[in-house]
Chains A and B, each alone.
Chain A
């Protein structure tokens, strides 16, 4: 099997997480909405424990954590769930950035169809949007600002501290899509000005199918979100449906481990990165996104003279990599993120994303470079 270098698409499940989730599949399978016997009571206690574990990572309160099926659903609840309150307040202006995941851009398109004026901030060649441009775009009728924390394609960390300053005196709701940074880049997400945070389990070694929207209270009141689904009172009425306890418990455990083992994980990723960058430098690759702002577990490069498809295919027995977001890699459309950063279509079409984690074994970089050099000569 090739070495898996696509951890931004999904991570392996941490063994301790899998063990705990299995226990709640096989043995402790109660429904937390039935706290009338020990099965239900234990399930409820486990869910509340997970809620607190997740809240702790971002310095939130447990009752601000709303479980969802993943970050996509959390993004949709955050963005579309605020629409009615914005309309009621006569605010129809919303802002996001050109380097968001489709799970943010498409709900914004939906807001556009509802009559909102959608403003999309550009990105620079470094892979970041500019907070000054946000400041210039803000209006009295701006209802919502949504910014990504860490871009999924480039690994570039966005200037959230500066955004917090820009928004300090503005009442707009601020949503952060933290799918790629939650549990990895910790301090940014503890910023109390952030109203809404979307997180995903399967990017931090928990199972797929679970995530959360963290909705911080202002003056002891949750943001005025409306549910997108109906049929039960779970999750404070915002996300009805029986809670998937094994997945939630897994997400809680993964959040705990992310806090406890952050430094060791980062160190392993840094060491891996040094080897990866040294090897790739021999191919005269062009890094997409400023190295100074990249998280240590991901790098996006363009390999001039070799198309992404060719490289991925040629390397498939050695390393498993991608060229773009997992959610768009099957569509063969050019990366909207790299285009927003100003890359030519030629460079965008030769881009590769390599992403790893603390569980990734060593890679035979000599073989990787040999294969790519042969491909280039051919």
Chain B
């Protein structure tokens, strides 16, 4: 489990420092990555978040086919993750 959160932190820093993940989006993802105990029950969402951060592309919606993830996807997954902390809703 902790490995998952470690990977999320590494991927987020990588995409923020060397990619195009903006600070305003990296910060809430890092908050998740650095609090594994708080989000331990939401492993599925965290895995989804990790995949989206790894495949983040600021122009994901620009082409004819959407195969990467943009800021809207990550924002939405963060929202589902936080909702899951509060009860059985989307995730």
Contact = CB atoms under 8 A, between A and B. Distances in A.
B73 A45 contact: yes
Contacts of B65: 63
Interface string A216-232: 00000000000000000
A181 to B, nearest CB: 25
B37 interface: no
Given A39-B90, A42-B91, A45-B76, A63 B67 contact: yes
Contacts of B91: 28, 42
Given A28-B90, A49-B51, A41 B76 contact: yes
Interface string B46-72: 011001000100000000010100000
A45 B67 contact: no
Contacts of A62: 67
B3 to A, nearest CB: 10
A108 B41 CA distance: 48
Interface in A24-74: 27-28, 38-39, 41-42, 45-46, 49, 52-53, 61-63
A45 B55 contact: no
Interface residues of A, number: 16
Nearest to A256: B47
A20 interface: yes
B80 interface: yes
A311 to B, nearest CB: 44
A27 B77 contact: no
Contacts of A52: 51, 55
B67 A38 contact: no
Contacts of B88: 27
B51 A42 contact: no
Interface string A259-279: 000000000000000000000
B67 A42 contact: no
B75 to A, nearest CB: 12
Contacts of B90: 28, 38-39, 42
Nearest to A23: B44
Contacts of B77: 45
B67 A61 contact: yes
A61 B67 CA distance: 9
A46 B73 CA distance: 12
A20 B44 contact: yes
A42 B89 CA distance: 11
Interface in B23-56: 44, 47-48, 51, 55
B71 to A, nearest CB: 14
Nearest to A27: B88
B41 to A, nearest CB: 12
Nearest to A38: B90
Nearest to A236: B65
A52 to B, nearest CB: 5
A62 B69 CA distance: 12
A39 B80 CA distance: 11
A45 B88 CA distance: 17
Contacts of B44: 20
Contacts of B73: 45
Contacts of A38: 80, 90
Contacts of A20: 44
A256 B48 CA distance: 12
11 contacts: A20-B44, A28-B90, A28-B91, A38-B90, A41-B76, A42-B80, A45-B76, A45-B77, A49-B51, A53-B51, A63-B67
Which 7 A-B pairs have CB atoms at the shortest separation, nearest pair first?
A63-B67, A42-B90, A49-B48, A38-B90, A52-B51, A49-B51, A62-B67
Given A28-B90, A45-B77, A49-B48, 9 more contacts: A28-B91, A38-B80, A41-B76, A42-B80, A46-B48, A49-B51, A52-B51, A61-B67, A256-B47
